[in-house]
Structure 1
């Protein structure tokens, strides 16, 4: 495959999209581990609804257990580790199959698909559904990661669509 064909450029762009998602995952994990206390407290404040304004009728949902806060945060870290590892492996596999026949390049997308799917699960389920909808994160002026999660969902969803839909030779 010539280095300057449209198909080879599309393949490289797919590798780049997956590599950027892997870099995002690595940076997120670095933040989570190097400033564990701050992020753990952040999640704990959302779960305990300590900064939630209004909606007093839903305060029964608050969970004030520090042990639960840490476990929930570790669930986030675990899922972020899974999708980061999947993106790293997916980037490597796609790079290895850059000049391979179309079927082989398509088969190399497996880990990237797992990465995008698990990232979507992480941000949609843990942040949007649980933290935002159940624990009213959106009603906190100080502790609101809804836009951040939504931006991640948009990138991951568009990356998954592009990886699967655009013809790659």
Structure 2
């Protein structure tokens, strides 16, 4: 324990936090493949706007084509698979460079950062911005992922800031 300096602890905490994100991402991907139909149903209801109140001013936004539902859902799954691969590889890179120089350790953060940015796109832009603001997802009593997505964003944005800071020596 005497060898555990604050600087080393900061490096390890960045590695551990990325490992936590990697675990979460693996569970998301697993769920999407094992339980495709219920997750697809979720996407379909949001895009169809069939569980939000009737509003003639915005009902034109609804996408009711099951073919488009599947395609949009596969775009989301693909993005989730990409950020999962970035998380896993990024975590490995951080671990591999845990004893490297400051600059080498800092450079090993690239894939982790890319993965977090893709996840922010999925959970903030796609779900919170488009799902809530365009498809009125927040009005649905059953098919509403706004709070779930917000919790994810609330975790990964501070992690992005912490990860990118070059405070370890």
Inter-partner Cα distance in structure 2 for 1:17 and 1:98: 14
Corresponding residue for 1:14?
14
Q: Where do residues 111-122 of structure 1 align in structure 2 (5 Å cutoff)? A: 111-122=111-122
Corresponding residue for 1:151?
151
Inter-partner Cα distance in structure 2 for 1:3 and 1:99: 12
Inter-partner Cα distance in structure 2 for 1:117 and 1:52: 30
Aligned-residue RMSD, C-alpha: 1.2
Inter-partner Cα distance in structure 2 for 1:33 and 1:81: 11
Q: Is 1:3–1:9's contact at 8 Å kept on the other side of the alignment?
A: no
TM-score relative to the length of structure 2: 0.96
| Count of residues paired in the alignment | 168
Q: Where do residues 15-164 of structure 1 align in structure 2 (5 Å cutoff)? A: 15-164=15-164
Q: Is 2:106–2:166's contact at 8 Å kept on the other side of the alignment?
A: no
Q: Structure 1 residue 131: deviation in Å?
A: 1.2
TM-score relative to the length of structure 1: 0.96
Corresponding residue for 1:167?
167
For structure 2, which runs of at least 5 residues remain unmatched after alignment? none
Q: Which runs of 4+ in 1 moved over 6 A?
A: none
